[in-house]
Every structure is written in C-alpha cells, then in structure tokens.
Structure 1
C-alpha cells in the first residue's frame, strides 16, 4: 500500500457514488411528472412485479433496512398508492399492496426507462453490459458466498 492508494481517482467507491447521484438526478424530472421520488419508484417497481410483497421482501430486493423503508412506505400510503396490511399468516409481517391508483400509475410509468435512455445518450447494449457488470458487483458485495 502507498499514498497513491489514497488518491480520489484510484477509488472504486467514487465513480460508483458519482454515477449513482448523476443517474438519480436524471430520473428526478421524469419521476416528478408522476409525483414520485426515486426510492418510491423503486418500491413501485417491486410491487408492479409482485403485488402483496412483505416489507421484509421489499427491503431485501432494494437493499434497504426497515428504518429507511418504513417512512417511505408510509408516504406511499399517504399518497394513496399502496395499502399496508398485516399478514393473515404472521401478524408480525406487513404486506404491501398496490391501490387502484398505484396500479393505474404503472401505465404512466411505462415511459420512464425510455426517457432515461434518451437522457443518458448511451446505446442500449453498452448500458445493458454495464448493468450486468454492476449486478455481478452487487451480488459479490451483498453475498460473497453466492458469487
């Protein structure tokens, strides 16, 4: 190890952090048209695929702890996009269901990925390759045994 290891340009964390912030910023105006924040959009993506997911399942998929997820779900409920219900099988578990308003929003959100791709100014294959690389890195970071 040397002092070169402490240079910003030698850190893997910085380009990941900066790219994450930049991509989230690109989403902001697109999602504002839907009255959503980026984290709310992510929760809805999970529910549009698997309505009735538990808070624990959503947290696992989004790599969020319950302390972050609970206020987010409360805001989605206040916006009348989701309904929180205690599980009939395990009352310690809370399931999240889309409301009719949340289900209808999916139709409006279909344009989001395309608009983001336009704003990124990158070809689809390059973006897919990058996504696959990031998925592999996330798998390594979240569960080194599985990778």
Structure 2
C-alpha cells in the first residue's frame, strides 16, 4: 500500500473504498446465515430493533435504523406478509404508524440467537476484535454525526 502522502488519490488509500468493500462483503456473509430465517439483511436490522423495543412508531424505528420512513415501508410490508409484525395506526394519533411484533416475530428471535456467534466466526473475529471494530465504527459514526451538526 502506498502512503497517502505519496498518492492521496490511490484507491487503496481511500477509507470510502475499504468501507464499501467491507460493507458488501459483510452483508454477503450474512445472506447465507439469514436465509434459513427468511430474512434479508435490512429485514434483520428491522427485527433487531423491534426485538429490542417493540412496539415502535415508524418514525422512531426509522431514526434508530438511520433510515427514511419511506425506505422502511416496503421492508415492513414484506415482514408483515411473512407474519413477523403488524402495522397499525395509533388510536391516539392517526398520523402515527405503530409497528408491533407478532408471536411468530417474537419466536423468530430465539432462532436468530445463533446469528451473532456464527458471524463472528465467519468474519474471523474473536470477542476482543469485535469490540475493537465496533468501537471504531461507533466512533466514526459519532464523528460524522458531530460534523453534520456543525453544518
């Protein structure tokens, strides 16, 4: 690898390139693990958020996942068709869409408990490596959030 000072535009020196390739590769590795659960990676993220905090208003779910509500709507519709969740208007405020797990969606959590361990193995990470990677990525996101607030 060349030093960024030698060639600041060399592809191998770009954080964006490394993140892009890593993201595609990690999501690809999840695909095989999530197939038996009948979940795509984006659907898995939705389920993780709901397993942690259901029921949730769509706007709150979108905020947690850092997505636009309109992006989540087709994912939620597919998950609803699979029987994992329901979407209903709030009785207190018709503008608010409430997303709730079904019993089948709650039971799916038990089957998903093995996913993190399998993925650690597939990614070649031990617990320490996972914690370090998570800390680095979380720090990166916090830095981007801070920079966005300054604009």
- TM-score (norm: length of structure 1): 0.92
Which SS does the other structure have where 1:36 is aligned? coil
TM-superposed deviation, 1:58? 1.1
Q: Name the CA distance, whole Å, in 2 between partners of 1:80 and 1:88.
A: 22
Answer with 5-14 or 89-98: which moved more. 5-14
Residue 52 (structure 1) aligned with residue 27 (structure 2) = no
TM-superposed deviation, 1:89? 2.2
Which SS does the other structure have where 1:97 is aligned? strand
Residue 119 (structure 1) aligned with residue 150 (structure 2) = no
Q: Which residue of 2 aligns with 1:33?
A: 36
Q: Which residue of 1 aligns with 2:18?
A: 15
Residue 81 (structure 1) aligned with residue 89 (structure 2) = no
User: Which segments of 5 or more consecutive residues in structure 1 lack a partner in the other structure?
Assistant: none
What is the aligned-residue RMSD (CA, Å)? Answer: 1.7
Q: Name the CA distance, whole Å, in 1 between partners of 2:109 and 2:145.
A: 29
Which SS does the other structure have where 2:19 is aligned? helix
Q: Which residue of 2 aligns with 1:42?
A: 45
Would you identify which runs of 4 or more consecutive aligned residues in structure 1 move more than 2 Å?
Answer: 2-6, 142-146
- TM-score (norm: length of structure 2): 0.90
Q: Name the CA distance, whole Å, in 2 between partners of 1:88 and 1:131.
A: 39
Which SS does the other structure have where 2:75 is aligned? helix
